[in-house]
Amino acid sequence: EAGVAQSPRYKIIEKRQSVAFWCNPISGHATLYWYQQILGQGPKLLIQFQNNGVVDDSQLPKDRFSAERLKGVDSTLKIQPAKLEDSAVYLCASSPSSAGRGEQYFGPGTRLTVT
């Protein structure tokens, strides 16, 4: 079974630039998550999708972050414009559970550096 795929793995941009991350979840997984992990902190949930609908985006900074899940499969997370404090690892995870309580399977993450 193929795991969760993410790209790019690393990205360096200047502040005020835009960036997009891509995630391909495990086939058949209904729930998809984006997390932000800042150095020294635990992963923080940015947005949760159930199929192609948003379940929870309460911690997504909507003035600069946006996300979509195309046809309930792949997802993209965009930051526009980026700030220095957005430097972090962005993790995508998927779960077969529709209730959001099941085990989550993570991708390798995208390490973003904003200079």
Partner 1 sequence: ILNVEQSPQSLHVQEGDSTNFTCSFPSSNFYALHWYRWETAKSPEALFVMTLNGDEKKKGRISATLNTKEGYSYLYIKGSQPEDSATYLCASTDSWGKLQFGAGTQVVVTP
Q: Binding residue for partner 1 (CB under 8 A) from 11, 23, 32, 43?
A: 43
| Cβ atoms of 109 and 44 closer than 8 Å | no
Q: Cβ closer to partner 1: 42 or 71?
A: 42
| Cβ atoms of 111 and 9 closer than 8 Å | yes
107 binds partner 1 (CB under 8 A): yes
Cα dihedral across residues 69, 57, 25, 114: positive or negative: positive
28 binds partner 1 (CB under 8 A): no
**Footprint on this chain of partner 1 (rule: CB under 8 A):** 3-4, 33, 35, 40-45, 56, 91, 99-101, 103-109
